[in-house]
């Protein structure tokens, strides 16, 4: 076998957001790092998302603090690297009494710790010309959320990490075996004192026994993009419909009003509940609108988008948001590993000097920088 000429302190397998965040956390501590990825560029869930860094969706306590830490790191990295980001915040809208009850109850629980604003209908409309007036009751505004353009940001980050921390990247390299001190790809051997495996659902190809023993599955989501809006029109905050209130764990703090809202949706939006649909929209650097999404769970998914799911998303979107141009320019699906026991990440050391970090679900953009900083700091 050919052996790599350069000896590294750390090898990271996977150049998605988790692997990139790990390389930053270790690079700033002076480690000599190699990041290996099976593709020519990151093309998985890390670029197939809204680009939302989303503290509002996280329950109060450690998870919210992790998201806020991650947000601060994102801002620092974007400023240093010249990566576009937009600190627009978020706006959750209510068109039913049950939805407004959840927003008000949630606000009462968190107002002492979070700088949110509960809004009437007239106040909410001031935040965006995209908001549909009909039946609007009000909303909740948070200034904490930021948007990045995921495909561009994930492509720029390796360049920044190489320039700032001298981190090496080895692309188009499929790792099929890992042992203490060694990463093997075909006839090539890469050596390091520490190895991290952060390959999303693909880690089952390296450690299939561990993957099969976990309460873990794969989530397929469907998303869409509308073309760049004319004349530089900007939406303002990322906007969410009421279905998002039953998707994000933070709103469980609302208590009984959320239970009532879930029952309302189960009675009136059965198809949305069945396919795990909640609807949000963000705007990227080019003025395009990123829209989604759905959630299908299982170990194997068909590769095709379901048109009726996209239509359900668009139909619901039209009840709370409208845009100067609504022409679709792209549709896609993505897959991520999801723990089914309520945990927000999985860490394991199957061999001395080898660490698996996985199972962040759909929260990679929101958690990764904060989680990896805590991990390397010994604060998990």
103, 139 Cβ separation under 8 angstroms: yes
Q: What's 29's domain CATH number?
A: 3.50.50.60
Look at residue 5 in the predicted model and tell me its pLDDT. Answer: 55
The DSSP string of 201-262 is GGGGGT-HHHHHHSSEEEEEEEEEEEPPPGGG----SEEE-GGGGGTSGGGGGG-HHHHHHH
Q: 202 with 303, same domain?
A: no
Q: 331 with 260, same domain?
A: yes
Distance CA 55, CA 296 (A): 24
- The pTM for the full model equals 0.94
371, 21 Cβ separation under 8 angstroms: yes
Q: What's 241's domain CATH number?
A: 3.30.9.10
DSSP letter (8 states) at residue 287: S
Look at residue 1 in the predicted model and tell me its pLDDT. Answer: 43
349, 334 Cβ separation under 8 angstroms: no
Q: Which positions of the chain have pLDDT values less than 70?
A: 1-6
Q: 188 with 245, same domain?
A: no
How does strand 238-240 pair with strand 177-179?
Answer: unpaired
- What six digits make up the tokens of 27? 């690079």
Q: 2 with 18, same domain?
A: yes
The residue range of the domain holding 256 is: 90-143+216-340
Which residues are paired to 189 by β-bridges? 3, 184
Direct distance between the N- and C-terminal alpha carbons of the chain, in angstroms, rounded to an integer:
38
Distance CA 248, CA 182 (A): 39
Q: 39 with 23, same domain?
A: yes
Distance CA 338, CA 290 (A): 22
Q: 95 with 3, same domain?
A: no
Over residues 293-342, the pLDDT tens digits come to 999 999 899 999 999 999 999 999 999 999 999 999 999 999 999 999 98
Distance CA 213, CA 341 (A): 13
Look at residue 378 in the predicted model and tell me its pLDDT. Answer: 87
Look at residue 216 in the predicted model and tell me its pLDDT. Answer: 92
């Amino acid at each position: 076998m050919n052996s790599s000429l350069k000896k590294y302190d750390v090898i990271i397998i996977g150049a998605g957001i988790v692997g990139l965040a790990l390389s930053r956390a270790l690079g700033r501590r002076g480690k000599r790092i190699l990041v290996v990825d099976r593709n020519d560029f990151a093309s998985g869930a890390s670029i197939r998302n809204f680009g939302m860094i989303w503290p509002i969706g996280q329950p109060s306590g450690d998870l919210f603090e992790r998201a806020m830490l991650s947000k601060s790191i994102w801002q620092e990295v974007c400023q240093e690297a010249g990566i576009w980001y937009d600190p627009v915040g978020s706006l959750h809208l209510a068109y039913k009494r049950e939805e407004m009850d959840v927003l008000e109850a949630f606000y009462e629980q968190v107002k002492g710790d979070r700088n949110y604003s509960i809004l009437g209908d007239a106040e909410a409309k001031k935040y965006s010309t995209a908001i549909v007036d009909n039946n609007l009751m009000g909303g909740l505004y948070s200034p904490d959320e930021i948007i990045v353009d995921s495909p561009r940001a994930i492509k720029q980050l390796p360049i920044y990490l190489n320039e700032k921390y001298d981190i090496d990247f080895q692309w188009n390299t499929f790792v099929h075996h890992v042992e203490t001190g060694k990463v093997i790809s075909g006839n090539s051997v890469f050596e390091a004192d520490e190895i991290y495996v952060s390959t999303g659902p693909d880690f089952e190809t390296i450690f299939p026994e561990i993957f099969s023993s976990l309460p873990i599955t794969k989530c397929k989501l469907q998303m869409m993009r509308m073309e760049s809006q004319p004349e530089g029109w900007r939406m303002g905050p990322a906007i969410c419909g009421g279905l998002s209130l039953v998707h994000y764990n933070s709103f469980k703090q609302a208590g009984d009003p959320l239970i009532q809202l879930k029952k309302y949706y189960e009675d009136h939006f059965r198809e949305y509940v069945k396919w795990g649909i909640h609807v949000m929209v963000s705007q990227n650097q080019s003025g395009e609108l990123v829209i989604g999404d759905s959630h299908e769970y299982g170990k194997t998914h068909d590769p095709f988008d379901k048109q009726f799911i996209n239509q359900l998303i668009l139909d619901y979107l039209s009840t709370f948001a409208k845009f100067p141009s609504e022409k679709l320019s792209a549709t896609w699906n993505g897959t991520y590993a999801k723990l089914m026991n309520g945990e927000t990440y999985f860490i394991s050391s199957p061999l001395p000097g080898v660490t698996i970090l996985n199972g962040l679900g759909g929260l990679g953009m929101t958690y990764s920088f904060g989680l990896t900083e805590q991990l390397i700091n010994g604060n998990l």
